[in-house]
Amino acid sequence: MADFRSPPPPFGADETPAEIYWAEADDGLRLRLGLWRGTTATAGTVLLFPGRTEYLEKYAPVAADLTAAGLSVLGIDWRGQGASQRLLSDPRPGHITDFADYQRDVRVMVDLATRLDLPKPWHLLAHSMGAAIGLRALMNGLPVATAAFSAPMWGIDTGRVPVGVALGLAQAAQVLGHTVKPVPGSGANGTYVLDSGFAGNLLTGSATAWARMVAEADAWPDLTLGGATFGWVGAALRECRALARAPLPAIPSIVTLGSGEAIVSAAAIRATCARWPSARLITVEGGRHEALFETAPRRAQVITALLTQFG
């Protein structure tokens, strides 16, 4: 067990380091988990499910807000990203063949939280891809009292390409043996925040948050991830389609959606919330994909909603 590496200056000077834990999933994959302990250790525990390409260090500011309210936070680097074991010999593309494999990682997380006797009630905080994993975990009986989803990947914005066509292309790539090949134009060997400028980026309207992302990616390139393989795209689209048809759990939930969302499908999010009586949709006006890393007023709106939900 050890502390996380410190965020590159000038960011994170007053953030509390987390404890690192390493564990193996039931298929032998080595995973990294991190625990930030609440200041009072009595308010409960948040299970943090990050999005695709993300890593635990990125969430230190979010953990600081939650631990200040007495909540402990247990997060994970999903298989194939962050400091967890990568799935391909080339570590840059994001890959998976079946989204069910992420539930192996969830089981590791729940097991660790149980062994550490982390304070209850437990809550779920899930972003983007992590929200697809999180919704499936809720359907599988994840033992949490409430849930909060940020820009959930319950559908993917495929632009001018219809979802059915995108899924067909992914399936054709599998037949041709191209499952592990990067999707053209996905930036598989790059890093989005290093290859893109702040102007017009799809993640945040906050120059400060963007600067931190750039500094982290520059300082820790081994934690970053590039674009997706055909395998990941096919698996993600199949899981989104399955989630859209599945019964939804009776767990009190909030869902935040930026009005400027352009990565996941806003229509799919609204459709899911419309058929989910225990879920409440919160629109973040002007927000982009990462409301937890937005301008101060937008971020405050989301953090306040989280603390209310988890309180």
What is the residue extent of each domain of the chain? Answer: 19-310
The packing angle between helices 101-115 and 129-139, to 10°, is 70
> CA 52, CA 177: separation in Å to the nearest integer?
24
- Quote the CATH superfamily of domain 19-310: Alpha/Beta hydrolase fold, catalytic domain (3.40.50.1820)
Per-residue confidence of the chain (311 residues) as pLDDT tens digits? 333 444 444 444 456 678 999 999 999 999 999 999 988 767 899 999 999 999 999 999 999 999 999 999 999 999 999 999 999 999 999 999 999 999 999 999 999 999 999 999 999 999 999 999 999 999 999 999 999 999 999 999 877 777 777 777 777 767 667 788 888 766 667 899 999 999 999 999 999 999 999 999 999 999 999 999 999 999 999 999 999 999 999 999 999 999 999 999 999 999 999 999 999 999 999 999 999 999 999 999 999 999 999 99
| Alpha helices (H) along 246-295 | 266-274
* The two structure tokens encoding residue 232: 């990941």
